[in-house]
Amino acid sequence: MKSQILTEFLGTLLALYYSASPVFSVLKQLNTKIANYLALMICWRITVMKLSLLPLSLGLLTSVASINAHAAMREYTANADMSNWQMVKTSRLECQLNHEVPYYGEAIFSTTASKNKDVNFNLDMVVRPDNYSIAGLKAVPPSWRAGMPARDLANMKLLRKFDGELGNKTAWEMLTELEKGFQPTFYYQDWQNSADKIAVGLSSVNFKQAYWAFLQCRDAMLPYSFEDISFTVMNYEPNTSKLTKSSQKRLDKIGEYLKYDTNIESISISSYTDSYGGRWNNLELSKKRAKAIKDYIVSLGVDESKVDTDGYGEKRHVASNDNILDRNKNRRLVIQIAKM
């Protein structure tokens, strides 16, 4: 303690002596014993004040350190040995790429058959949010590129009791960052412990091969969705069971889709005619047309019990029968498909 007091005293004396303080400037000019005594007394008082404040300063530093020690960042990321990317769905209707985040959940990239084949991202959490929050998403550089700043990608809404979801644009950004070796990482405030923050990272280790398989699967998907074929109206050539060319193309699309979707619950086929040819003949013709379509659908592997047919003949016209164009509209077949 004595050495500490002496050190503080001498340091204060030298600092003030060489400073521009007006008091010391006057004392240096006096150059008397009284002036020297006054200078020493001033330095002594300053030293005592410094030492009296030292415990308070140490206390504040200890408190700050204690606060920092309690505020923690809990990180969830697969290490190099545990990082695994896996294709779990590979069909012409759906592709899904999964990545397990140990002790947290799964990161899922998926796409379904459609014109655009958009990619969606889902953060499947074992413990879902208890309230509304926002998670920031950054592209974190790999360890071998230390010094590079993380890049902001997007914000993800966290809704109570729901997984996190992101749309096509951000999902593609995440995939391309992973391809470059970066680690897309989510940051958010823990909803169970207000002192903690959460970081959830997607490891890029073992990513590229699985990503290539995902891209190939997506490329092979059908360019239309269930919604595109679930309700279809087709038309016939006059007095025959032959579909028009455009209608045949639509039927081919339905047939291609039904080859892959095992969740079809029911298919309803309704056939109609125009008013030419006699009512009984038209009724029989409508039934024949409906049965022909049913036979085709069953040949694709659809359970026959799921397919219902009705022939209505001249009933339920959608246009007049006064001209060729309107009669073409009435010669129609409607297919309605429902899923489980």
The predicted structure's pLDDT at residue 24: 47
CA distance 287 to 234: 15
Has residue 76 been placed in a domain? no
Distance of CA 137 to the CA centre of its chain: 10
Q: Please tell me whether residues 91 and 131 are part of one structural domain.
A: yes
- Structural domain total, the chain: 3
Task: Tell me: do 97 and 202 sit in the same domain.
Answer: yes
Q: b/e string for 229-250 if b means 16 or more Cβ within 10 A?
A: beebebbbeeeebebeeebeeb
Pairing of strands 264-271, 307-311: parallel
For residues 290 and 251, the answer to whether their CB atoms sit within 8 Å is no
Supply the angle between the helices 168-179 and 208-220 in degrees, to the nearest 10: 140
Q: What is the pLDDT of residue 100?
A: 97
pLDDT at 202: 98
325 inside domain: yes
Domain for residue 306, yes or no? yes
Examine the domain organization and report whether 90 and 196 are in the same domain.
yes
What's the pLDDT at 41? 57
Q: Are 204 and 274 part of one and the same domain?
A: no
The predicted pLDDT at position 327 comes to 74
Domain extent, residue 113, equals: 85-220
Q: How far apart, in whole angstroms, are the C-alpha atoms of residue 246 and residue 333?
A: 13
Q: How far apart are CA 155 and CA 164, in angstroms?
A: 10
Residuewise pLDDT in 10s, the chain (340 residues) = 545 544 554 454 445 444 445 544 544 454 555 545 545 555 555 554 554 544 544 443 444 344 444 568 999 999 999 999 999 999 999 999 999 999 999 999 999 999 999 999 999 999 988 889 999 999 999 888 878 899 999 999 999 888 999 999 999 999 999 999 999 999 999 988 888 999 999 999 999 999 999 999 999 999 999 999 999 999 988 777 888 899 999 999 999 999 999 999 999 999 998 887 788 988 998 999 999 999 999 998 899 999 999 999 888 877 777 777 777 788 889 999 999 8
69: phi then psi, degrees, rounded to nearest 5: -70, -35
The alpha carbon of residue 212 and the mean position of all alpha carbons in its chain are separated, in whole angstroms, by 19
Per-position b or e across 174-198, b if 16+ CB within 10 A of its CB:
bbebbeeebbbbbbbebbeeeeeeb
Here the CATH number for the domain that contains residue 273 is 3.30.1330.60
| Dist. CA 151–CA 140, nearest whole Å | 7
Domain boundary among 39, 70, 101: 70
Q: Are residues 253 and 172 in the same domain?
A: no
216, 104: one domain: yes
Could you tell me the strand order of the sheet in which 164-166 lies? 85-90, 94-101, 105-112, 119-125, 164-166
Is 42 among the domain residues?
A: yes
CATH of the domain at 166: 2.60.40.2540
Last residue of a domain, one of 220, 253, 271: 220
Do 38 and 100 sit in the same domain of this protein? no
Give pLDDT, residue 66. 44
45 falls within a domain: yes
Contact criterion met (CB below 8 Å) for 222 and 92: yes
Do 208 and 122 reside in the same domain of the chain? Answer: yes
Residues 250 and 159 in one domain: no
Map the chain to HEC letters.
CHHHHHHHHHHHHHHHHCCCCHHHHHHHHHCCHHHHHHHHHHHHHHHHHHHHHHHHHHHHHHHHHHHHHHCEEEEECCCCCCCCEEEEEECCCEEEEEEEECCCEEEEEEEECCCCCCEEEEEEECCCCCCCEEEEEEEECCHHHCCCCCEEEEEEEECCCCCEEECHHHHHHHHHHHHCCCEEEEEEECCCCCCEEEEEECCCCCCHHHHHHHHHHHHHCCCCCHHHHCEEEEEECCCCCCECHHHHHHHHHHHHHHCCCCCEEEEEEEECCCCCCCHHHHHHHHHHHHHHHHHHHHHCCCCHHHEEEEECCCCCCCCCCCCHHHHHHHCEEEEEEEEC
Q: Which of 169, 201, 220 is the last residue of a domain?
A: 220
How far is 87 from 110, CA to CA, in rounded Å?
10
Q: Specify if 77 maps to a domain.
A: no
Q: Rounded CA gap, 296 and 270, in Å?
A: 15
Q: Are residues 117 and 170 in the same domain?
A: yes
Q: Considering the domain boundaries, does residue 47 fall inside one?
A: yes
- 133 assigned to some structural domain: yes
d(CA 213, CA 126): 27
pLDDT at site 142: 87
- Asked if 214 and 241 sit in the same domain, the reply is no
Q: Please tell me whether residues 236 and 308 are part of one structural domain.
A: yes
